[in-house]
Amino acid sequence: MTALNLRRRLLALWTLAAAALLLTGCGVAEGVGDNNPKKQAELRLLNASLGSALELWVDDSLRASGVAYGSASAELTLSTDSHDVALRRGSSGSAVQDSQALTLTGKTHSTLLAYGRNSAPQTLLLSDDLDTPATNRTRLRVVNAAVDAGALDVYLTGSSAALSDVNPVVSALAVGSGGGSTVDVTSGTWRLRVTGSGDATDLRLDLSSLTLTSRDIVTLLLTPSSGGVLVHALSYSQDSDNVAVRNNPSARVRLIAGTSPSAAHSATVGGSAIGASSSSPWSTGAYTRVSAGSAQALTITVGGSAIATSALDLSAGADVTLLVYGTPSAPAYAVFSDDNGLPTSSSQARVRLANGLNGTGSAGIALSIDADPKADSLLAGAASAYVSAGTDSSRRFTVTQSDGSVAYDQSLTLAAQGVYTLFALGDATAANPRSIVLRRDR
């Protein structure tokens, strides 16, 4: 080796050593200091579960509190190690999700999505480091966080396009999926519609305007409603801290005609016809989508005479039953909030009893399933709480009246994941029409 080459080599080694010392002094060398970008990750909590605000606990320390539905916490800086993460409800401080191990790698940005039922939310880790799409394109990630809705199809169309003429941009999206899948769509303002998987007529959400900007990266979260069937939506851009809440503009209402003897029933809510019957008792009314909101005009007629010209408050995404009972000369009506959420067990069904019988008196009626009491002293115009029932074989449903007489005694097979109401309609006396029927609501 010549003297010149030796000097050049020694100079290069000295330069590398000096650079390493300089980086170490700045606290950014590999494995040195908390400011090392390769040893940190950013994490935030986004609450998509209905219920009170959530707290995020990391390694037994409270790191975020008061995170309400449709909002996100500030980003937390965490080391790229394994952390124990737990969720608690802020109102009680009780744990709603046991600690789980969460490992963060590299210099990453992530959203911990909490979704599902109020008492037991689930979590899904979403990466917020997706690549930027081309000009005039938007990268769209859709996550089905509506735990009771089942698989869903998502459409982006023009304002007047018929769903039968277009294909969904995302098909058969299962609950909890979508965290790693995206689709690039043309930027612009679209009509967003969500339906049940494979059924374009099963409309769960219809938003007239969703604006997607060029080269943006948008996450669309489909979230549960109080009724269990319709869905809401949340959305956020990857480069923004803001979460947009997009509540369903609709609710679903049905009319159950229960007076005796037979009479025609009809109803309108906010100008939308709910149902009509040539005779009662009648329990086949289907749900109709109507505009949600407070003080929706309500009109109910029995035998051509109005019995209600009041207002009805309909929360976004709600399912509601209007039960008409009594006699045509003295009719009455009740409003039930329906919970058509799926049973928590895949082998169970959910059932309730609704009393629309005239003449049951102050003692009401009772329900037992396989001789196990489920509801007692249910007065006319009332509905019981939902109860779970097995679906492994036929179930014996027995309804008894206040005098101890049996009004209904049938063996019925329930479908797994079904939601049912047993309607008792008509007149309690044997001389008049009486109809007791199990109706599948979901």
pLDDT given at position 30:
35
pLDDT given at position 38:
55
DSSP E strands in 50-127: the ranges are 54-58, 61-67, 76-79, 82-89, 95-103, 109-116, 121-127
pLDDT given at position 179:
75
Structure tokens at 398: 């027995």
Q: How confident is the model at residue 8 (pLDDT cuts 50, 70, 90)?
A: very low
Q: How confident is the model at residue 392 (pLDDT cuts 50, 70, 90)?
A: confident
Q: What share of the chain is helix, strand, coil (3-state, %, to 5)?
A: 5, 55, 40
Mean pLDDT of 116-145: 92
How does pLDDT run across 182-221, given as a tens digit for each residue? 999 999 999 999 999 999 999 999 999 999 999 999 999 9
Mean pLDDT of 65-90: 92
- State how beta strands 109-116 and 76-79 pair: unpaired
Question: CA-based angle 356:362:367, to the nearest 5?
Answer: 55
CA proximity to 146, closest of 224, 86, 210, 34? 224
Domain 343-442: which topology? Immunoglobulin-like (2.60.40)
Mean pLDDT of 272-287: 77
The C-alpha atoms of residue 378 and residue 355 are separated, in whole angstroms, by 7
Domain 249-338: which topology? Immunoglobulin-like (2.60.40)
Class of residue 157 by CB neighbours under 10 A (exposed 0-12, middle 13-18, buried 19+): middle
Quote the percentage of the chain above a pLDDT of 90: 66
How does pLDDT run across 300-344, given as a tens digit for each residue? 999 888 987 788 999 999 999 999 998 888 899 999 999 999 998
Q: What 3-state DSSP class applies to 438? A: strand
DSSP E strands in 213-269: the ranges are 217-224, 231-237, 244-246, 250-257, 265-269
How does pLDDT run across 143-180, given as a tens digit for each residue? 999 999 999 999 999 999 999 999 999 999 999 987 76
- Residue of higher predicted confidence among 283 and 296: 296
pLDDT given at position 97:
75
Element (H, E) at 13: helix 3-25
26-59: buried (b, 16+ CB within 10 Å) or exposed (e) per residue? Answer: eeeeeeeeeebeebbbbbbbbbbbbbebbbbbbe
pLDDT over 70 (residue 241): yes
pLDDT given at position 431:
59
> Is residue 137 within 8 Å of 215, Cβ to Cβ?
yes
> Is residue 310 within 8 Å of 322, Cβ to Cβ?
no
The contacts of residue 225 (CB under 8 Å, 6+ apart) are: 146, 231, 232, 248, 316, 317, 318
* CATH architecture for the domain at 37-125: Sandwich (2.60)
Mean pLDDT of 114-122: 83
pLDDT given at position 37:
53
pLDDT over 90 (residue 427): no
pLDDT over 50 (residue 14): no
Mean pLDDT of the chain: 87
CA proximity to 248, closest of 317, 153, 339, 318? 317
Domain map (residue ranges) of the chain = 37-125, 132-246, 249-338, 343-442
The C-alpha atoms of residue 32 and residue 370 are separated, in whole angstroms, by 68
pTM of the model: 0.86
The C-alpha atoms of residue 282 and residue 284 are separated, in whole angstroms, by 6
pLDDT given at position 36:
53
Side-chain half-sphere of 384: how many Cα atoms within 13 Å?
A: 26
Same fold, 132-246 and 249-338: yes
Q: How confident is the model at residue 284 (pLDDT cuts 50, 70, 90)?
A: low
Question: Which single residue is written with the structure tokens 């480069």?
Answer: 239
Structure tokens at 184: 């690039």
Residue 117 phi/psi, 5° resolution? Answer: -75, 155
- Residue of higher predicted confidence among 6 and 346: 346
pLDDT over 60 (residue 433): yes
> Is residue 419 within 8 Å of 441, Cβ to Cβ?
yes
Structure tokens at 77: 């800086």
CATH 2.30.170 fits 132-246, yes or no: no
The C-alpha atoms of residue 262 and residue 426 are separated, in whole angstroms, by 8
Structure tokens at 197: 């998987």
